[in-house]
Structure 1
């Protein structure tokens, strides 16, 4: 107990003391090891021992005033920046150690942490409510108003309407749909409606992002009826956090959609042109025979000069014609790609560009990309105009915006700039700049200002941060070192390929360009320890269905208690709650569904089971995916705990008794 208190600043329980430590102390003091097993940690003697240890290390027992100070410290300093209860408990114990106080019992720790969280929640919701304008409060209240359900639709009305009516709250929680223009327009509409709520920019100023994210996650699992049942301050804070975080996520999603859509229309245009010209006749007469003779001559006379070996077989004029044809085909190919791009953009995607530029606000910190920003402003000024060309008096940025091979498609022979191809060039340049983080979106998180990713004291302590990164401050030195390492790596690759020791890496061509091809990694040999572990598990327990394991372990260890509720309290009996969680686990893991599982039990259990699903943490993704592999069989939830859970190691465990599945899929047997 003395050494444990010295290390952990708390008194140990019997299970906290490892056997190795007991054996070591027994060897030091020369006593019987059975004395520790017979020691009563709840006896008066143990109380005296704890008092002596406390006095020896200069600790004191906490008073009621100390507990109030701990609650205030947790609620004021820790809860605004930390949401994990485990870390809050650790912080509380560390604080007690600093104050030389005897740490509270586990139950007291839970009570103190809960009181601190309640204090912080009261202060946080009060401050948030005071910062919300009246108009914003009214708009947030409109979110939880359930529309009249469709008389022909189905549903219980808890999700914000029937099949034919969907509330904006339900749409707000949904992620973007498939990659298409309609998805882009739908996300723009959602973003505009969230902005119309009018949340102030300083709403969550001074609050950690983790705290706001936690309130957003809590709101995502709630229905309109749950918001209505919550206290007004809590309800408004939940809705404000949901809208605040979702607005940032939607801005990031729109930027992602922009990047992917620009790439999509470019790739689709190239594929269409490639498919069209693949069947066309594009060759010099007899070119296949010429190329065959050319290759044969090169093989027969590898040491001869080109003029001596090749020209007698294929004349110089014929080779010149083949080269000219290839260049003409490449030029025609690029022209046809531009035509396809223009047609696809002008007929379909162009109608979403003005709305996107109004919804997103782009910023730039690099003067080299200012032409792209000027081009975006030009596009915004011509929004709604039906002119084909830009006005001659306009200063249209072309450098760093329009590629060289697009110049003739954008600028006609009279020097006029056509709008449609220019807009395409602007979108492509914008996509490249965003991916390089040279242009960023205001209000985003992923695509935010890259300067915000730097430490707050970066400018003042630049030397310290560069030293931590092991990078030079001089950009020229950094570039020179990078070039040196790249050159050395390419030299090693070149040497290995020449000697045939590159492991299958070779130089090929992809779309006419040189390409380094890396073969897939061969299947590695299974580690001997893992193979031995599998054999031992199979020998001891045989093949056990995963559903049996999950159910039996739940009965023995009670791991379902780790599923915490998003509500402020829980009044359901723990045994009933465990059974409902196991049913939910079965329904989610087997893809049977919660409602179909609930159909196998009493009708009164239907709302309770569905409520448990939405109020408890979701089953981890890995658990659901592995459960699916063996779950499409009969239900086994009434089986008593298997002997393997308590019998220790040794021998094959008999299989648990199974029951025949009923007619309803997933119906439990008890």
Structure 2
């Protein structure tokens, strides 16, 4: 006889609870006594141990202090000797659920769990948090290396522009100087050269040369070197100790060899090192920096240590961004082979057919070359006919585009605005959010990460909408709770911690976007997609706001 609905639900809940208890017990038994002591000290906030709230926190603003803090977190988690291989054998979605549960609790709430559940949950959280911290550390590293170069260029450009004056007719001027020098080779500079090109003209010519070409690059590197050696150089040994870099392509092996060389010689204080076969050069040093890094000392080639470190960091940043080099135990910067299906090698041709690609590299390149040639021919054919575009003969930006004249507002749009204002003269954003939820039910995506849901779904729906409104508008939960809804700040905070997380937000936003495109009439609005235009303006927000990108501005 089939059990009744309530009896069936009870059996399923019982089986699921037993699975969780076995899971917690399994992970807790994998931990040593020393690891459990350190985990307890972290929850208690003992001095000298990275506490629980710091582990939960995201990286702060870009800077050396943020890098050192993230490295300290990684070192603490690795000192616990978590069973990484055991964790990696489980489904990531299962582990993420328990990670969300611990992240929604305070240290006091975690300590209230029985010992087996406490250590099992905390171990899962630390394993997943380690992957996120490594990702955050790599992001900080990429932004810091970019900032070093960008700041150096901005500083130099600002200095040059303060007294820069462009010299026109440099070829003619050089010819006149050469002619005067040949006519009077034994004369003084003041008597021969200055009448042709005055002292001010020569100074302007020298400044113009320094603002471009090799001289400009040398000055940029000089400023970059000063900033790196005086402040940011402290991060290099810490990053090399905390992260393990790998690559699946032998072409990028020189960068890894350079990192190994720096790691083995990080205690050396030598400013210059004799160049030999043990120091990787090709594939590490860019051609424009080669003369700055490799110096000639009385016929003997030597490497400037600090300049070489800068080149290695720049090469590493470039390859990390495109996953040519990946990091062990990372999540976003993990081994790209892990993203492939398990049977990819066996069914490679089938997967390529599904993607509409060929397995022949030569044919793939020829197809790209053909498409690019066709596009360039079309550009070359249409550009002379376009009256809005001009090709300039000088200047940095050679393509000049005439701004489009503003179009008149369509007549129907004015009628539409008037009708909307007449129907809904004072509609708040919260009412729009509530109406959207009543129509499509996007709040159903927000499930609790705890064991059960205490409030009824209607009350929960109201609190979820208030939380989303407070977060999405940067109004804040405290200010939202101060209105006439009768819901306290602690109640909203509890819903925020236990129900609202990134996966649920993505699903809800996707449902709202799909509903908008379904409701649009293509004959009026056209074929809409999920793409949109942006002026790339960034708005400041607190680092825990899931609706916006955390940025120092």
Alignment TM-score, normalising by the size of structure 2? 0.72
1:63 aligns with 2:2: yes
Unpaired runs of 5+ in structure 1? 1-61, 65-103, 149-164, 292-313, 315-320, 626-670
Seen in structure 2, the aligned counterparts of structure 1 residues 506 and 263 have a Cα distance that, compared at 3 Å, is farther
Shift of 1:340: 0.9
CA shift, 1:201, in A, is 1.9
Q: Please give the residue correspondences for 1:90-105 in structure 2 after superposition, counting only pairs within 5 Å.
A: none
Matches of 1:517 and 1:607, distance apart in 2: 56
CA distances 1:306-334 after superposition (whole Å, capped 9, x unpaired): xxxxxxxx9xxxxxx99999666523212
Please state if 1:129 is matched with 2:28: yes
CA distance in 2, matches of 1:572, 1:468: 46
Describe the shift of the 1:476–1:270 C-alpha distance in structure 2 as closer, same or farther (beyond 3 A): same
C-alpha distance in 2 between matches for 1:438 and 1:338: 26
| Partner of residue 423, structure 1 | 309
CA distance 1:405–1:516, shift in 2 (3 Å):
farther
> Counterparts of 1:432 and 1:510 in 2: how far apart (Å)?
32
- The equivalent residue for 2:278 is 395
What corresponds to 2:355 in structure 1? 469
Measure how far apart 1:246 and its partner are.
1.4
Q: Structure 1 pair 124/505, CA: closer, same or farther in 2 (3 Å)?
A: farther
Q: CA 1:145 to 1:330, structure 2 compared with 1: closer, same or farther past 3 Å?
A: same
Deviation, 1:170, is: 0.8
1:338 maps to 221
| Number of the residue aligned with 2:295 | 412
Residues 510 and 587 (structure 1 numbering): CA distance in 2 closer, same or farther, change over 3 Å?
A: farther
Equivalent-residue separation in structure 1 for 2:170 and 2:272 (angstroms): 46
CA separation in 2, counterparts of 1:322 and 1:592?
54
Match of 1:363 in 2: 246
SS in 2 for 1:171: helix
Q: Where in structure 2 are there 5+ consecutive unaligned residues?
A: 174-195, 197-202, 510-553
Alignment deviations for residues 370-404 of structure 1 (CA, whole Å, 9 cap, x no partner): 22111111111221221111245662222121222
Describe the shift of the 1:402–1:555 C-alpha distance in structure 2 as closer, same or farther (beyond 3 A): closer
State whether structure 2 residue 131 is matched by structure 1 residue 248.
yes
Cα gap change, 1:385 to 1:464, in 2 (>3 Å): same
| 574 and 446 in structure 1: CA distance in 2 versus 1, 3 angstrom threshold | closer
Cα pair 1:132 1:203 within 8 Å, conserved: no
Tell me what 1:433 maps to. 319
In structure 2, the residue matched to 1:41 is none
TM-score (norm 1): 0.60
Task: State how 1:235-634 maps to structure 2 within 5 Å.
Answer: 235-280=118-163, 284=167, 287=169, 329-391=212-274, 395-414=278-297, 415-500=301-386, 512=396, 542-547=425-430, 564-570=447-453, 594=477, 610-611=493-494, 613-617=496-500
Aligned to 1:5: none
Name the residue aligned to 2:524.
none
Give the total of aligned pairs: 477
State the superposition RMSD in angstroms: 4.6
Give the Cα separation in 2 of the matches to 1:276 and 1:527. Answer: 52
Q: Distance in 1 between matches of 2:215 and 2:439?
A: 73
Q: 1:581 to 1:352 in 2, by over 3 A?
A: closer
Task: Indicate the structure (1 or 2) with the bigger Cα radius of gyration.
Answer: 1
Counterpart CA distance in 2 for 1:557 and 1:434 is: 41
Q: Structure 2: how far apart are the matches of 1:510 and 1:143? A: 63
